[in-house]
Amino acid sequence: MNINATMLGQIISFAIFVWFCLKFVWPPLIAAMEERKTKIADGLDAADRAMRDLELAQNKATDQLKEAKQEAAVIIDEAKKRASQIVDESKDKAREEGERLITAAQAEIEQEANRAREELRGKVATLAIAGAEKILERSVDDAANRDLVDQLAAQL
């Protein structure tokens, strides 16, 4: 156990190791640890924020749902109203159409009746002539009498 130059060697190596640690070991480790610390703090912050955002979003969603329901009720009401309106309109239209058809049918009937009357008129003339012919037989001048009968028929 002698005091000797080992002590000097130890002093020098101590200085070198402290310098090395100061330059190459301590700063990167501390920097990494600090960075991780801020990372974790940021992460926790973000989690908090996300939690709050989630709550807000949930509230918003509930509000929107309620609003949508109200809107839907309004739309359904309107639709019902519109439907009954359409039904009423259709009924009116149908009634009008019916009336129109009836009028048209009546007009046609009248037309038919007129035509039948005309025809009848023509036929009556012929019939009357035929009757007169039968009655008068041979003595009658067909042409002179026809004028007379036509005049008669026109008066019908």
Partner 1 sequence: MASDTITAEEYISHHLTNLTFGQRHDGSWGLAHSAQEAADMGFMAVNVDTFGFSLLLGVLFMFVFRLVAKSPTTGVPGSLQNFVEMVVEFVDDNVKGMFHHKNNMIAPMGLTIFVWVLLMNIMDLVPIDFLPEAGKLVGIHFLKVVPSTDVNITMGMALSIFVLVIYYSIKQKGIGGFAAELSLHPFGKWGLPVNLFLEVVNLLAKPISLGLRLFGNMYAGEMIFILIALLPFWAQWALSVPWAIFHILIIVLQAFIFMVLTIVYMAMAHDDH
CA dist 72 and 81 (Å) reads 14
Give CA–CA dist 97/100, Å, rounded. Answer: 5
- Two structure tokens written together for 23: 């330059």
Shortest CB 24 distance to partner 1, Å: 6
Q: 44 φ, ψ to 5°? A: -65, -40
**Nearer to partner 1 among residue 41 and residue 109 (C-beta):** 41
Q: Which is nearer to partner 1, 23 or 69 (CB)?
A: 23
Quick one: 4 or 139, whose CB is closer to partner 1? 4
Contact criterion met (CB below 8 Å) for 121 and 156: yes
Footprint on this chain of partner 1 (rule: CB under 8 A) = 1-11, 13-15, 17-18, 20-22, 24-26, 28-33, 35-36, 39
DSSP string computed for 49-105? HHHHHHHHHHHHHHHHHHHHHHHHHHHHHHHHHHHHHHHHHHHHHHHHHHHHHHHHH
Distance in Å, CB of 33 to partner 1, minimum: 6
Please identify, using beta-carbon distances, which residue of 39 and 95 lies nearer to partner 1: 39
Least distance (Å) from partner 1 to the CB of residue 68? 44
CB of 73 to partner 1, least distance (A): 53
